[in-house]
């Protein structure tokens, strides 16, 4: 179905640089807003795990994580509060980053045999998403492939507590799980209220061990969630307020978090900005950046945050003409001084600011940086075309030719061209 939307309505967001208040967005449509019932944030949040698990009537808990997290010695941080609360705990640490769908069945069988009554997702977005699937699939006879798309999960599963160790995906706050469909070579999403964690414990201390490349890539993912939610045609006052604040927090802190990883001010801001991004995009949706990055991740196994960062400036440069004032506003949230600039000029400053951020963090921006050949572009376009769920949120319509132009622009780093 053709997606139609009007010239974006300006929204009131007071800005540091004093852009005059404009007309407030009028929310005429009925909207559902979803987030976990309980969010506990700040240093020490993870210590609440035992209490929260008991409130959900947990007695035997399976903690789903990955080897990267368990090798950091962090499992004790979740084991201790659960054991102290008198609960039985097992760990599964075989989750792989960007989990392929064919890895889900193993964990479903483990949950079925183990008789667990509570699932804890502990890690980045990958283990948290696997935990969501592991909560709803057991004893259904269904497979993860059956649940791709919107509202395909048939029934409520086991309760879920999500504990992020990256500041990135916001998965702890979304009713979404993303997997790599290895049969189609593309990332696909499951969207259902049954995937929403009951509780999210967002403890910035758990992110301190993230190495700079993980902090940078996952942090850019969080920034992009906020930006794409902010310019989404499905944005609301609720998502705008979170997204604007999330953009501010992350822009202020991401460089410090990457280059001075022990800085708790930066880690705390990143954790909050990532949570805000999760709630904002979980309700308003994400658009072109994610739609164009999913085939890069699906076909070439580029980490999600890296693929998103590569696409970001190019997709945003294309989007800006559909919503110049929103670009001005979120550029201000990024700390840019727009005084005296027209909206058109301000939007260019915003796009340049995104590019500079990716440069500063050293995240790849070109397909050639991650060894993807130009010959892959037609297949990337085919993959991006399948992401209808995401295109429906995007402020500017992309034709297949526009998608191809973005990929061609980002194909080869200019200084690498002959
Ligand atoms: N469900 C959602 O709403 C949603 C949203 C966006 C992205 N995603 C998905 O989430 C996945 C990406 O998640 P991610 O970016 O958080 O990365 P990740 O979970 O794939 O982890 C990346 C790497 O970082 C390591 N790591 C994680 N925390 C660490 C820590 N504290 N210390 C040291 N190492 C640590 C992991 O072991 C892993 O090797 C992708 O599959 C993406 O599609 C889901
Ligand atoms: Fe994302």
Asked if the structure places residue 217 within a domain, the reply is yes
Structure tokens at 310: 């590569």
Range of the domain at 367: 212-416
Structure tokens at 86: 């008198």
In terms of domains, do 45 and 77 share one? yes
In terms of domains, do 53 and 167 share one? yes
In terms of domains, do 170 and 308 share one? no
Structure tokens at 56: 């959900």
Determine the residue of 74, 169, 218 to mutate for testing ligand 1's pocket, defined as the one with the most ligand atoms within 8 A of the Cβ atom.
169
In terms of domains, do 203 and 226 share one? no
Asked if the structure places residue 366 within a domain, the reply is yes
Q: What is the CATH number of the domain that holds 315?
A: 1.20.1090.10
- What is the Å distance from ligand 2's center to 289 Cα? 9
Asked if the structure places residue 287 within a domain, the reply is yes
Nearest Cα residue to atom 15 of ligand 1? 218
pLDDT surpassing 70 at residue 163: yes
- What is the Å distance from ligand 1's center to 66 Cα? 10
User: CA nearest 288: which of 412, 378, 402?
Assistant: 402
Strands 176-181 and 149-150: unpaired
CA distance 370 to 413: 11
186 lines ligand 1 (CB under 6 A): no
Q: Which of these three, 184, 207, 230, is where a domain ends?
A: 207
Task: Return the beta strands (E) in 159-299 as ranges.
Answer: 160-164, 176-181, 186-191, 199-202
What pLDDT sits at residue 28?
58
Positive or negative, the CA dihedral 146, 148, 150, 153 is positive
User: CA nearest 96: which of 60, 68, 138?
Assistant: 68
- What is the Å distance from ligand 1's center to 415 Cα? 31
Structure tokens at 278: 């999760």
pLDDT surpassing 90 at residue 263: yes
168 lines ligand 1 (CB under 6 A): yes
Nearest Cα residue to atom 25 of ligand 1? 68
Q: Which of these three, 153, 186, 207, is where a domain ends?
A: 207
Tell me the pLDDT tens digit for each residue of 97-136: 999 999 999 999 999 999 999 999 999 999 999 999 999 9
28 burial (CB, 10 Å; 0-12 / 13-18 / 19+) is exposed
pLDDT surpassing 50 at residue 24: no
Question: What Å distances lie between residue 8 and 25, 30, 89, 184, 270, CA to CA?
Answer: 9, 18, 50, 35, 29
Closest ligand to the CA of 178? 1
- What is the Å distance from ligand 1's center to 399 Cα? 31
Determine the residue of 214, 220, 223 to mutate for testing ligand 1's pocket, defined as the one with the most ligand atoms within 8 A of the Cβ atom.
214
In terms of domains, do 176 and 220 share one? no
In terms of domains, do 233 and 132 share one? no
Determine the atom of ligand 1 nearest the C-alpha atom of 180: 41
Instruction: Say if residues 343 and 328 touch (Cβ distance below 8 Å).
Output: yes
- Given pLDDT bands bounded at 50, 70 and 90, which one contains residue 11? low
Closest ligand to the CA of 291? 2
pTM of the model: 0.93
pLDDT surpassing 60 at residue 91: yes
- Collapsing DSSP to helix, strand or coil, 160 comes out as strand
Tell me the pLDDT tens digit for each residue of 338-369: 999 999 999 999 999 999 999 999 999 899 99
In terms of domains, do 218 and 102 share one? no
In terms of domains, do 287 and 388 share one? yes
DSSP result, 316-370 = HHHHGGG-HHHHHHHHHHTT---TT--HHHHHHHHHHHHHHHHHHHT---SGGGG
- Given pLDDT bands bounded at 50, 70 and 90, which one contains residue 185? confident
Q: Give the phi and the psi of residue 185 in degrees, each rounded to 5.
A: 60, 40
pLDDT surpassing 50 at residue 324: yes
| Burial readout 239-264 (b: 16 or more C-beta within 10 A, e: otherwise) | bbebbbbbbbbbbbbbeebbeebeee
Mean pLDDT of 296-323: 96
Determine the atom of ligand 1 nearest the C-alpha atom of 294: 43
Cα atoms in the Cβ-side hemisphere of radius 13 Å centred on 355: 13
CA distance 404 to 52: 48
CA distance 8 to 54: 46
In terms of domains, do 121 and 154 share one? yes
In terms of domains, do 411 and 307 share one? yes
Nearest Cα residue to atom 6 of ligand 1? 169
User: CA nearest 124: which of 209, 185, 182?
Assistant: 209
Lowest mean pLDDT among 10-19, 92-101, 259-268, 398-407: 10-19
Determine the residue of 46, 76, 166, 178 to mutate for testing ligand 1's pocket, defined as the one with the most ligand atoms within 8 A of the Cβ atom.
166
Closest ligand to the CA of 126? 1
Is 49 or 19 the better-scoring residue by pLDDT? 49
286 lines ligand 1 (CB under 6 A): no
CA distance 172 to 155: 19
CA distance 255 to 357: 8
Closest ligand to the CA of 71? 1
Asked if the structure places residue 89 within a domain, the reply is yes
Instruction: Say if residues 191 and 102 touch (Cβ distance below 8 Å).
Output: no
Nearest Cα residue to atom 24 of ligand 1? 214
Nearest Cα residue to atom 41 of ligand 1? 98
Mean pLDDT of 22-42: 78
In terms of domains, do 70 and 108 share one? yes
User: CA nearest 48: which of 23, 85, 73?
Assistant: 85
Closest ligand to the CA of 211? 1
Nearest Cα residue to atom 37 of ligand 1? 68
In terms of domains, do 186 and 297 share one? no
Cα 185–chain centre separation? 20
Asked if the structure places residue 11 within a domain, the reply is no
Q: Looking at the 3D structure of the chain, how many domains does it have?
A: 2
What pLDDT sits at residue 297?
93
Q: What is the CATH number of the domain that holds 70?
A: 3.40.50.1970
- Given pLDDT bands bounded at 50, 70 and 90, which one contains residue 26? low
171 lines ligand 1 (CB under 6 A): yes
Mean pLDDT of 32-46: 96
pLDDT surpassing 70 at residue 14: no
Asked if the structure places residue 309 within a domain, the reply is yes
pLDDT surpassing 50 at residue 52: yes
Q: Which of these three, 185, 207, 229, is where a domain ends?
A: 207
- Given pLDDT bands bounded at 50, 70 and 90, which one contains residue 25? low
174 lines ligand 1 (CB under 6 A): yes
Looking at every residue in the chain, the average pLDDT score rounds to 93
Element (DSSP H or E) covering residue 185: none
User: CA nearest 327: which of 397, 230, 221, 223?
Assistant: 230
Determine the residue of 34, 174, 275, 304 to mutate for testing ligand 1's pocket, defined as the one with the most ligand atoms within 8 A of the Cβ atom.
304
Asked if the structure places residue 9 within a domain, the reply is no
Strand partners, 161: 120, 199
Tell me the pLDDT tens digit for each residue of 287-297: 999 999 999 99
- Collapsing DSSP to helix, strand or coil, 211 comes out as coil
Asked if the structure places residue 30 within a domain, the reply is no
């Amino acid at each position: 179905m053709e997606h139609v939307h009007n010239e974006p309505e300006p929204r009131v967001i007071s800005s540091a640089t004093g852009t005059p208040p404009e007309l407030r967005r009028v929310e005429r449509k009925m909207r559902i807003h979803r987030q976990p019932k309980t969010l506990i944030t700040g240093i020490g949040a993870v210590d609440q795990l035992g209490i929260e698990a008991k409130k959900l009537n947990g007695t035997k808990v399976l903690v789903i994580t990955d080897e990267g997290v368990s090798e950091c010695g962090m499992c004790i941080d979740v084991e201790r509060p659960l054991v102290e609360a008198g609960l039985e705990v097992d760990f599964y640490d075989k989750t792989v980053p960007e989990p392929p769908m064919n890895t889900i069945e193993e964990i479903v069988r483990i949950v079925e045999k183990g008789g667990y009554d509570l699932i804890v997702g502990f890690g980045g977005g990958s283990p948290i998403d696997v935990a969501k699937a592991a909560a709803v699939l057991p004893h259904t006879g269904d497979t993860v492939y059956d649940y791709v798309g919107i509202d395909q999960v048939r029934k409520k599963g086991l309760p879920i507590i999500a504990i992020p160790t990256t500041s990135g995906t916001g998965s702890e706050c979304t009713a979404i799980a993303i997997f790599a469909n290895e049969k189609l070579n593309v990332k696909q999403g499951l969207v259902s209220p049954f995937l929403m964690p009951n509780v999210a414990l967002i403890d910035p201390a758990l992110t301190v061990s993230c190495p700079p490349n993980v902090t940078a890539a996952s942090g850019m993912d969080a920034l992009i969630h906020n930006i794409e939610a902010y310019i989404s045609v499905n944005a609301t006052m609720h998502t705008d307020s979170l997204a604007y604040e999330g953009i501010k927090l992350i822009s202020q802190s991401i460089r410090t978090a990457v280059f001075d990883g022990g800085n708790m001010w930066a880690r705390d801001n990143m954790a909050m900005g990532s949570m805000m991004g999760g709630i904002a995009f979980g309700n308003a949706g994400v658009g072109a950046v994610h739609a164009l990055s999913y085939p890069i991740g699906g076909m070439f196994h580029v980490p999600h945050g890296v693929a998103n960062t590569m696409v970001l400036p190019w997709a945003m440069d294309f989007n800006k003409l559909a919503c110049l004032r929103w670009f001005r506003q979120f550029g201000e949230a990024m700390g840019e001084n727009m005084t005296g600039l027209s909206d058109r000029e301000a939007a260019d400053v915003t796009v340049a600011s995104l590019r500079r951020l990716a440069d500063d963090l050293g995240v790849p921006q070109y397909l050639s940086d991650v060894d993807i050949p130009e010959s892959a572009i037609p297949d990337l376009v085919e993959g991006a075309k399948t992401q209808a769920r995401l295109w429906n949120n995007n402020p500017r319509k992309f034709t297949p030719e526009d998608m191809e132009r973005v990929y061609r622009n980002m194909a080869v780093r200019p200084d690498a061209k002959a």
